[in-house]
Amino acid sequence: MIACYTNRLSARPGERVDLHATNDLAGECSVEVERIGAEIELVHQFDITVADHPTPSDADMNGCGWPAAGDFIIGKDWKSGYYRIRMTNADKKSTTHFVCVLPEKPGKNEIAIILATNTYHAYNYWGGANAYSHVTKLMKGQASFEDAMAQAIGTLSAERPFPDLIIAAPDDAPRLINDRKRGFKEQPWASDMNWMIKHHASPYDGSAGFVNKWEHRFAEWAEKNGIELDYYTDYDLDAKDDILQAYKCALFVGHSEYWSGKERDQVEKYVDAGGNIAILSGNTCFWKVRWENDGKTMVNHKWRGHTAEPEASKDDATHLWSHESVGRPEAELTGLSFVFAGYHRLGMCVSRGAAGYTIYRDNHWTLEGTDLFYGDVLGGEVPLIGYESDGCRFHFDEDELPVPIPMVGVPENLEIIGIAPCAFGEDPDSGYAPIIPPEQLDVIANVIYGDDSPAAQKKVLRGHAILASFKRGKGEVFNTGTTEWAHGLAAGDPFIDRITKNVLNRFTGKTGRAV
């Protein structure tokens, strides 16, 4: 085995990064550090000697405890971005990790992108388990899916490597969406099952990580369009206050599912004071987490939050942001919530859906110059709606336009641009075996309706993804409501491209000029 991790996931130019590693050959390894964006740029190369170290049985919760095998200094000329660390031993076996290079000081550029590293940690099952299940036992056939899910852990160590398919997905890694509609009486499926079998992929590998996933696709698009970004991790917003105040716009891309209390406090303060956030993400800010041990431990009890730590205050509790034990629905900040939407074109979740937004409010500022009109479908060819989506309840006004129903934090002034049907889960009465992991429908029904009856749970299964914006305080929020927006940019869709540029122009004060 060869594996490595760093003592920190982000660092500024001039700061040192320690590399903790094990190598069963117990000898010299070469290390390459590359910036990953529109191009791959090798910035540093060095050799270290790495011994063979055992992996503790509780590494998933308490870390590996390997000594530092070497270190490197972030170069003064290294641009802010995602940097891959590749370590290779004498047998040519490699492992990868990463570090986010921060700007030398906040505000070097106008736009900050916050990498969804809390989500990376939640899905990380290196050493056994993650926040969802005991993945190793599941993949080895040592536990059923139900039993493996019961062995999910609520304390996750950052002092361990990541599985390769999370942190180093190959170029041909499939998206988490069915790229075509289900045929007549065809058995449902999810993603590319043949690829997953070939690569021994777990159900969790595609849901987090940078390389060849959402944030990477966005970074490529931004750099090709001359858009400079300053990079941060979720934990940076937890560890230091007021980072965002130096920026005109902050971005959350892909799958920004897990937020700490301090991170959310900072983002809300930023927007209320006049900052703008563009959420090009789905399932955003769904789970509340807590960082301990100077960023070495992420506490994330999920559904068990109120029972695992019954005495925890609302500031410390970990659960759904919308759960009564926390009491801060994410839609107060994001405008939308996963509880009102769910999945599209996965398994039996809207398996023959259009995979795009039907446009209703075609005079909205985001659509200027897009040539989109009432009833048009945005992104169906991409496909744009898939995997996880956020939405709200709504009704149609006297002008036959959708307007929000202000509940569970959804703001009354939300402007709904487009909608697409979603399903929070698969209907058990469909006649087809479910594929999507079951959620706690009783908990969600209670959050939405204050009622966990079977009828309320059934109602939870029906929802809509929403494309929307709204003003909060002195700032503004744009939300795509889908994890897949960056893939629309990667596909070269001219409508999605123009909408994104409209948003960034407005949010950086460049309205009327092309980005």
pLDDT tens per residue, range 169-178 = 999 999 999 9
For the residues 456-464, what does the mean pLDDT come to?
96
Percent of the chain with pLDDT over 90: 97
Quote the CA–CA distance of 500 and 197 in Å, as a whole number: 36
For the residues 310-316, what does the mean pLDDT come to?
94
**What is the residue-averaged pLDDT of the chain?**
97
> In 3D, which of 252, 222, 291, 239 has the Cα closest to residue 390?
252
Q: Any bridge partners for residue 29, and if so which?
A: 48
Quote the CA–CA distance of 236 and 266 in Å, as a whole number: 11
- pLDDT value at residue 251: 98
pLDDT tens per residue, range 327-372 = 999 999 999 999 999 999 999 999 999 999 999 999 999 999 999 9
pLDDT tens per residue, range 368-426 = 999 999 999 999 999 999 999 999 999 999 999 999 999 999 999 999 999 999 999 99
Confidence of residue 514 (pLDDT cuts 50, 70, 90): very low
Neighbouring residues of 116: CB distance < 8 A, sequence distance ≥ 6? 208, 215, 234, 252, 253, 254, 255, 256, 257, 258, 281
Confidence of residue 513 (pLDDT cuts 50, 70, 90): very low
For the residues 172-199, what does the mean pLDDT come to?
95
437 preceded by cis ω (within 30°)? Answer: no
Residue 403 has which token pair? 């307007």
Quote the CA–CA distance of 330 and 335 in Å, as a whole number: 8
Residue 394 has which token pair? 């709504």
Place of tokens 């000329």: 77
Quote the CA–CA distance of 419 and 466 in Å, as a whole number: 5
Percent of the chain with pLDDT over 70: 99
- pLDDT value at residue 202: 96
Residue 80 has pLDDT above 60, yes or no: yes
Residue 186 has pLDDT above 70, yes or no: yes
Q: What is the pTM of this model?
A: 0.97
For the residues 250-256, what does the mean pLDDT come to?
98
φ/ψ (deg, to 5) at 112: -110, 140
CA distances from 147 to 132, 161, 254 (A): 11, 25, 29
Residue 49 has which token pair? 């000697």
- pLDDT value at residue 512: 47
Q: Give the chain's domains with CATH numbers.
A: 1-103 (2.60.40.1930), 338-468 (no CATH)
Quote the CA–CA distance of 7 and 439 in Å, as a whole number: 34
Confidence of residue 511 (pLDDT cuts 50, 70, 90): low
Quote the CA–CA distance of 326 and 513 in Å, as a whole number: 42
Residue 515 has pLDDT above 60, yes or no: no
